[in-house]
């Protein structure tokens, strides 16, 4: 069969269009999620942000409160699993009344169930240990009962920090503070009943910035290939794994074994603290976290359980405290250009 030069040209042109459209837009999805913070006065519209997530293959997003604009922008994007936070200031009234929890759910979650993939609701952000820590478990219990009664595939948990550990070195010495034992252990035992993950914020940057003389940068940013910390039979070449496992050991000392753990936040600032915070260092740490998650490998204590987690954060947020806090973003909010290449 003969084809005219024009037909051949049009065929190749159509191939180029297909390659362009699908090669650029379709990105291999990463298992890493992103935190979507809103503490800035120059942030792009949520619909643009969702388009950004789609373009870089992000399928998990965490928001800190049930923001209407963001949740509306997520409508129809059921390939993105969303973690929604209950605001800390809402805990007291919710802890006092199951009816208040039902009303909160009806207002903030119910309207989106048909076309937003809400996978997690987190009750409070780093409020355990602390004065409002005891309010977490009652709200978690009420929300868990509510989603169970509706047969909804939504997990209920809370987000805690490494401040719960009174000791973390070596990892096997990991132990909770007395206040964490009082407030967190009942939460962990409640989560254990359904094997629902506890969400933990893990930032090697902070211990490194506190003691850069004794903590080597390569160990902190997961660049070291050699074992730096030997803890009995377990060897650690990076601080992230050591911090993760210290939390596991602390849970085990409270009789909680095998509970899944999700990293709700980790990251490294690209500016704000001299030569400890450069785009190159931030790109190295965050890039190594992405590799860790996407490799499917676990930590020395749980080698067969893949690490699951979220990077902090999508954008630099200019309404956060000045310094490093404003520089954890992967993208500049004004033009949405990457501060360094990651995805």
User: What are the residue boundaries of the structural domains of the chain, listed by start?
Assistant: 32-331
Instruction: Give yes or no for a contact between 123 and 86, defined as CB atoms under 8 angstroms apart.
Output: yes
CA distance 204 to 40: 25
Question: Do residues 313 and 40 lie in contact, with contact meaning Cβ atoms separated by under 8 Å?
Answer: no
Catalytic residue list contains 126: yes
Residue by residue, pLDDT tens for the chain (343 residues) are 444 444 433 334 343 333 333 333 335 678 999 999 999 999 999 999 999 999 999 999 999 999 999 999 999 999 999 999 999 999 999 999 999 999 999 999 999 999 999 999 999 999 999 999 999 999 999 999 999 999 999 999 999 999 999 999 999 999 999 999 999 999 999 999 999 999 999 999 999 999 999 999 999 999 999 999 999 999 999 999 999 999 999 999 999 999 999 999 999 999 999 999 999 999 999 999 999 999 999 999 999 999 999 999 999 999 999 999 999 999 999 999 999 999 9
Residues 69, 98, 252, 265: which is the catalytic one? 265
Do 82 and 65 contact (CB within 8 A), yes or no? no
Task: Please tell me whether residue 128 adopts helix, strand or coil conformation.
Answer: coil
Give the rounded distance of the alpha carbon of 198 from its chain centre: 12
So what's the pLDDT on residue 30? Answer: 83
Closest CA to 289 of 30, 80, 84, 50: 30
| This prediction's pTM | 0.92
Quick one: angle between helices 178-192 and 136-149, nearest 10?
Answer: 10
Q: Which of 69, 110, 126, 325 is catalytic?
A: 126
Alpha-helical runs (H) found in 110-177: 136-149
Sequence-distant (6+) residues with CB within 8 A of 39 are 317, 318, 319, 320
C-alpha–C-alpha distance, residues 196 and 147, integer Å: 13
By the 8 A CB rule, do 198 and 137 touch?
Answer: no
**How high is the pLDDT of residue 24?**
35
**Per-residue b/e over 191-201, b at no fewer than 16 CB within 10 Å?**
bbeeebbbbbb
- Select from 199, 92, 180 the least CA-distant residue to 138: 92
Using alpha carbons only, give the angle 131, 135, 140 rounded to the nearest 5 degrees: 145
Q: How many CB atoms lie within 10 A of CB 151?
A: 6
> CATH number of 32-331: 3.20.20.80, 3.40.50.2300, 1.10.1060.10, 1.10.3720.10?
3.20.20.80
């Amino acid at each position: 069969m003969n084809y005219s030069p024009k037909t051949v040209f049009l065929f190749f042109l159509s191939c180029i269009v297909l390659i362009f459209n699908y090669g650029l837009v379709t990105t291999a999805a990463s298992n890493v999620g992103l935190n979507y913070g809103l503490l800035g006065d120059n942030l792009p519209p949520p619909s643009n942000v969702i388009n950004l997530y789609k373009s870089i293959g992000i399928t998990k997003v965490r928001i800190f409160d049930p923001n209407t604009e963001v949740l509306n922008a997520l409508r129809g994007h059921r390939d993105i699993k969303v973690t929604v936070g209950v605001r800390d200031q809402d805990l007291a009234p919710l802890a006092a009344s199951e009816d208040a929890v039902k009303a909160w759910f009806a207002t903030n979650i119910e309207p989106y169930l048909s076309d937003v993939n809400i996978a997690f609701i987190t009750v409070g952000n780093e409020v355990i240990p602390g004065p409002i820590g005891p309010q977490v478990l009652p709200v978690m219990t009420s929300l868990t009962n509510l989603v169970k009664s509706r047969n909804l595939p939504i997990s209920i948990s809370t987000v805690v920090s490494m401040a719960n550990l009174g000791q973390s070195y070596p990892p096997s010495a990991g132990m909770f503070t007395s206040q964490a034992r009082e407030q967190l252990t009942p939460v962990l035992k409640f989560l254990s009943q359904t094997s629902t993950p506890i969400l933990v914020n893990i930032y090697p940057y902070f211990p490194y910035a506190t003691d850069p003389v004794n903590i080597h940068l390569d160990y902190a940013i997961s660049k070291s290939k050699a074992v730096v910390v030997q803890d009995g039979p377990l060897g650690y070449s990076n601080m992230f794994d050591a911090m993760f496992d210290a939390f596991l050991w602390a849970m085990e000392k409270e009789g909680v074994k095998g509970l899944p753990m999700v990293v709700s936040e980790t990251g490294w600032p690209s500016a704000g603290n001299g030569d400890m915070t450069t785009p190159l260092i931030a790109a190295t740490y965050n890039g190594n976290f992405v590799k860790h998650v996407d490799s499917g490998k676990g930590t020395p204590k749980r080698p067969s359980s893949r690490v699951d987690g979220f990077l902090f954060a999508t954008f630099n947020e200019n309404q956060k405290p000045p310094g490093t806090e404003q520089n954890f973003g992967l993208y500049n909010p004004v033009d949405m250009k990457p501060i360094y290449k990651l995805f």
